[in-house]
Structure 1
Amino acid sequence: MRNNLVFTNIPEDNSTGSEPPEVTERELRNHLEEKLKIAKETADAMRFERVHRSPSHPVHGQC
C-alpha cells in the first residue's frame, strides 16, 4: 500500500478528460499554497511519486 493523500473539491478545468500529470501537480501545489496557506518554498519542495485526478462524477462509457 502506498502512502496516499486524497484531496477533494479542487476545481478542475479539464474538458478533454486527459489532463497531464504535470498540470495536475501544478494545480495541487497551487491549492496547497492558496487554500492551505503552505509557503510556496515548502509546497515546491514536496515530492510526489504520482499525482492524478479521480472523476468527481461518473464518466459515461467507463466502469
Structure 2
Amino acid sequence: MCVILGCREEETEMGRQQAAGSCPYCGGKVHAVDVSSRWRCCFLPICFRFKRKYFCTLCSRRLVLYDA
C-alpha cells in the first residue's frame, strides 16, 4: 500500500508598493510585496499567514532585511 500526501504552499500577491532605499547590488528601486501564503495538506488548510518580501526592480533579486 502506498500513501502519498499532497502538501503544498500557495502564494498570492496582495499588493505592491515602493519601499524606501535602494538595492545594495545595482542601486535600483526596491518594491515591497505583500504576499499571503497558505499551506494545504490533502486539501485541508493547515496554516495561513501574511509576509512582506522585498525585490529590486532592476536586477530582480530578493532582498532580505537583517535586524542588528
TM-score category, normalised to shorter length: under 0.3
TM-score norm. by structure 1 comes to 0.27
Larger Rg: 2
Higher percent of residues as helix: 1
